[in-house]
């Protein structure tokens, strides 16, 4: 391999990854897994591909350790779709322009894939000997999650991905709160618990509405109640720890959380608001298939997110109290995530040490994700202490949030280089030789 900087190495690998169309569905992640395998084996890294079907392979690479705690660098190679009409540049160009690499997946999350691979490859070239295995997982199927990716690996090949610690996407953004810089560190995730409401009525000809019982109209009243829902606030450990980091102490009670957050900064309130209780967002509705037929059935799909540890039974009691009696059925579609990791231990300390050395005036602010990542599969399967942290200092966090899953997605090369530096630091801090 020609002598180039790790910065250039990461940029080139990211560009190659972006030029592979791994939009899920259908995914076709094998092409990315094979690219990463070929790149890593050149540096002497052990690599295996695991695939439920040939075109959707997962890559697991490893630097063997000395029997100590294992650290897994998690990532996924699939992306959401992209409409080239909405973009300034071809979404699969991987073009480098003004210090930024453009393309679908640059932020979510081929940038972190490339940085993780470069970190592992460079450590292997240096003869790095970790205390426990350093594992790099480039999984398929995170964006849809239909048992081709990490969930499948945990069930079918558990020893390939078993680890005591892991680092994944989810946070790392540098933000300013109360006049001080903080790097967000995700330590927990809400549970995705969408549900269906099936509202029943009686059909009839639309020209004679009085003879029917319109399920769509009845559903409208229920949707309004869901839209007006405000949960009874709860002060969860992650939110309390966030306030402790920012203000020195958590609020006295849960009722004060949003008020205190607004006093600190509007961004703090934006971060905290979905974390004080369950959220419900009606998103889809189907009723009559003909303009002149009053529907007897109306199906409403509701995105619902529960706090870590909150059960669907508990949530359903709240929802039925909100909706009241009526001709409807409530059915949960799934319950995925809702896990948390302790805010202590060697990986926690390693992240704090890196921030202190890199930007001494900055702090670390724990956060619970309103959404979820693949981290919960490792927490559920192995009790892994899993954090979301990939530092981003140079691109404004709010700009990056708007670009994820949107047009003109791009990543700053400075942040890509920062990510490589952090991952190398974390691997060494966890007991490298």
Distance CA 319, CA 59 (A): 42
**Whole-Å CA distances, 136 to 36, 184, 234, 415:** 10, 22, 36, 20
Catalytic machinery residues? 78, 142
- What's the pLDDT score for residue 57? 98
From the list 302, 244, 239, 248, the residue with the least C-alpha distance to 272 is 239
3-class secondary structure, 323? helix
- Parallel, antiparallel or unpaired: strands 71-76 and 165-168: parallel
- Residue partners of 340: CB distance under 8 A and separation at least 6: 187, 188, 189, 237, 238, 308, 309, 368, 379
What is the rounded average pLDDT of the residues 371-382?
95
Q: pLDDT tens digits, residue range 17-60?
A: 999 999 999 999 999 999 999 999 999 999 999 999 999 999 99
Q: What count of residues does the chain have?
A: 433
> Cis ω on the peptide bond leading into residue 109 (within 30° of 0)?
yes
Distance CA 389, CA 376 (A): 15
Residue 235 has pLDDT above 80, yes or no: yes
Residue 371 pLDDT class (50, 70, 90 cuts): confident
Q: Which two tokens stand for residue 259?
A: 């008020």
DSSP H helical segments within 305-363, as ranges? Answer: 312-323, 346-358
Distance CA 341, CA 170 (A): 14
Taking a C-beta distance cutoff of 8 angstroms, is the pair 174, 362 a contact? yes
Q: Which two tokens stand for residue 13?
A: 């690998």
Distance CA 58, CA 34 (A): 9
Distance CA 397, CA 189 (A): 19
DSSP label of 329: E
Q: pLDDT tens digits, residue range 216-226?
A: 999 999 999 99
Q: Which two tokens stand for residue 106?
A: 């640059």
- What's the pLDDT score for residue 372? 85
Q: What is the largest CA-CA distance in the chain?
A: 80
Please report, rounded to a whole number, the percentage of residues in the chain having pLDDT higher than 90. 97
DSSP one-letter string for 126-178 = TT---SS-EEEEEES-TTT-SSSSHHHHHHH-HHHH--SEEEESS--BEEEET
Distance CA 311, CA 222 (A): 22
Q: pLDDT tens digits, residue range 276-331?
A: 999 999 999 999 999 999 999 999 999 999 999 999 999 999 999 999 999 999 99
Distance CA 355, CA 242 (A): 16
3-class secondary structure, 122? helix
Distance CA 174, CA 171 (A): 9
Distance CA 82, CA 108 (A): 12
**Whole-Å CA distances, 45 to 123, 164, 367:** 10, 21, 33
Taking a C-beta distance cutoff of 8 angstroms, is the pair 316, 272 a contact? no
From the list 3, 5, 73, 54, the residue with the least C-alpha distance to 386 is 73
Q: pLDDT tens digits, residue range 284-299?
A: 999 999 999 999 999 9
- What's the pLDDT score for residue 1? 44
Q: pLDDT tens digits, residue range 119-170?
A: 999 999 999 999 999 999 999 999 999 999 999 999 999 999 999 999 999 9
Distance CA 257, CA 228 (A): 20
φ, ψ for residue 141 (rounded to 5)?
A: 65, 35
**Whole-Å CA distances, 304 to 63, 194, 316, 327:** 40, 5, 11, 21
Residue 347 pLDDT class (50, 70, 90 cuts): very high
Residue 432 pLDDT class (50, 70, 90 cuts): low
Distance CA 240, CA 249 (A): 8
What is the rounded average pLDDT of the residues 334-348?
96
Average pLDDT in the chain = 96
């Amino acid at each position: 391999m020609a002598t180039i900087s790790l910065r250039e190495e990461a940029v080139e690998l990211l560009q190659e990854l972006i030029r592979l169309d791994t939009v899920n569905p259908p995914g076709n992640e094998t092409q990315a897994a094979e690219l990463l395998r070929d790149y890593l084996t050149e540096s002497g890294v052990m690599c295996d591909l695991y695939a439920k079907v040939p075109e959707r392979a997962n890559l697991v690479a490893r630097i063997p350790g000395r029997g100590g705690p294992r650290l897994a660098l998690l990532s996924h190679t699939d992306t959401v779709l992209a409409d080239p009409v909405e973009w300034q540049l071809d979404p699969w160009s991987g073009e480098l322009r003004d210090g930024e690499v453009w393309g679908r997946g640059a932020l979510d999350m081929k940038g972190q894939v490339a940085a993780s691979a470069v970190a592992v490859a460079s450590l292997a070239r240096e003869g790095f000997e970790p205390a426990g295995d350093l594992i790099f997982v480039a999984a398929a199927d995170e964006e849809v999650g239909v048992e081709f990716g990490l969930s499948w690996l945990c069930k079918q090949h558990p020893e390939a991905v078993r680890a005591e610690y892991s680092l994944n996407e989810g946070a790392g953004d540098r933000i300013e709160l109360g006049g001080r810089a903080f790097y967000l560190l995700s330590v927990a995730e809400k549970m995705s618990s969408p549900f269906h409401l099936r509202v029943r009525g009686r059909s009839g000809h639309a020209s004679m509405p009085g003879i029917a019982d319109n399920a769509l109209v009845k559903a409208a009243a229920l949707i309004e109640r869901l839209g007006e829902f405000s949960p009874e606030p709860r002060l969860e450990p992650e939110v309390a720890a966030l306030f402790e980091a920012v203000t020195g102490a958590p609020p006295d009670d849960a009722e004060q959380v949003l008020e205190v957050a607004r006093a600190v900064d509007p961004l703090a309130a934006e971060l905290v608001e979905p974390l004080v209780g369950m959220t419900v967002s009606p998103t889809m509705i189907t009723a009559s298939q003909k303009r002149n037929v009053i529907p007897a059935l109306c199906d409403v799909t509701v995105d619902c997110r529960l706090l870590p540890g909150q059960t669907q039974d508990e949530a359903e009691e709240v929802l039925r109290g909100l909706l009241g009696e009526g001709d409807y059925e409530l059915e949960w579609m799934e319950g995925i995530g809702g896990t948390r990791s302790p805010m202590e231990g060697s990986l926690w300390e390693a992240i704090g040490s890196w921030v202190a050395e890199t930007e001494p005036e900055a702090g670390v602010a724990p956060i619970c994700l309103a959404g979820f990542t693949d981290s919960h599969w490792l927490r559920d399967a192995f009790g892994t202490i899993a954090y979301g942290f990939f530092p981003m200092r140079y691109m404004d966090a709010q700009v990056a949030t708007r670009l994820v899953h949107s047009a003109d997605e791009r990543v700053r090369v400075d942040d890509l280089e920062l990510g490589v530096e952090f991952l190398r630091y974390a691997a060494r801090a966890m007991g490298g030789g």
